[in-house]
Amino acid sequence: MKNCKKVVIIALIVLFVGHFLAPKTVQAQVLEVGGSVGLSYYMGDINPKIPFIDSNLGWGVLVRYYEGTRWAFRLAYSNLQLNGSDKDSGFCPERGLSFNTKAHDFAAIAEFNFLDYFTGSKRSGLSPYLFGGISVFSFNPKADDGTELRNIFTDVDYDATIPVEGADKYSKMALSIPFGFGVKYSLSHRIGLAFEWRWDYTFTDWIDDCHAFYPENPNSYSDPTGFTNDIDEGDGKKFILRGNKFDNEWGGYLNFSLTYKFNLPNGKDCNKRERYKNYD
């Protein structure tokens, strides 16, 4: 996971620096507005290995700005349902943990098209692309009965200077690095279609309310199966592992998006045909 994080950060730096170093040509400026729908999923302490376990329907809206045929920038909101269950993932079924949460994600993303692309173009209406950026999202993990797990003493990090109980245990807001790849296709003069797979490396390990150790006196939400009942670590139940605090959570969103294109004015000669030659 640590190596993957480094690769992601390096790739994003190259993506953004490449944009500013690339030769600039005068092109039509375009704004696209649309929405997305697809499958969202979570990976973390409860499901560390298998994408799309307990996946759910997600949706979003986006605004995309093109300053040429290769680079685009978008702002997006995504409404993603994230679930996890030891029983479904099979990773640690004896632990019996599960959660569900709604993630509200706001992202700023840069895209690089491998081929010249414009929605409405007959010659350049298809291109694979890479993307990366930054996002902020909210989450609030709940038990199967709807109880907010954040308000219950379920997990503790004895090495951290955080409260051990109450609603201030961890923040419901976090940052993430969204990145991935996709394919764009121009359906008509103004309608564009994109299919992409987005990953999010998050800067929190609390999406699933599973972080480090069981509390000394576990309750039915921290230890639903009684996993700790027969364990004695020599110091009571104080240092029985419940999660891996050194790996943060990941999210995923495999989705289709449809957008509608608006041409933007660009200087005094914005109506000259040569500025829009890529649309023909």
Exposure of 10 by Cβ count < 10 A (0-12 exposed, 13-18 middle, 19+ buried)? exposed
Question: How high is the pLDDT of residue 143?
Answer: 96
Whole-angstrom Cα distance, residue 115 to residue 183? 10
Residue 267 Cα distances to 188, 259, 260, 276, angstroms: 26, 25, 23, 13
CATH architecture for residues 2-18+31-279? Beta Barrel (2.40)
Residue by residue, DSSP assigns 153-205 as ---B-TTS-S-SSSTTSS-SEEEEEEEEEEEEEE-SSSEEEEEEEEEEEES-S
Mean pLDDT of the chain: 85
How far is 134 from 63, CA to CA, in rounded Å? Answer: 15
Instruction: Please report the pLDDT score of residue 10 as a whole number.
Output: 53
CA distances 129 to 112, 115, 182, 233, Å, are: 5, 8, 5, 52
- Which two three-digit tokens encode residue 265? 């004015």
pLDDT in 10s for each residue of the chain, 280 residues? 445 555 555 555 555 555 444 444 445 689 999 999 999 999 999 999 999 999 999 999 999 999 889 999 999 999 999 999 999 999 999 999 999 999 999 999 999 999 999 999 888 999 999 999 999 999 999 999 999 999 888 988 877 655 444 445 789 999 999 999 999 999 999 999 999 999 999 999 999 999 999 988 889 999 999 998 877 665 556 788 999 999 999 999 999 999 999 988 765 444 444 444 444 4
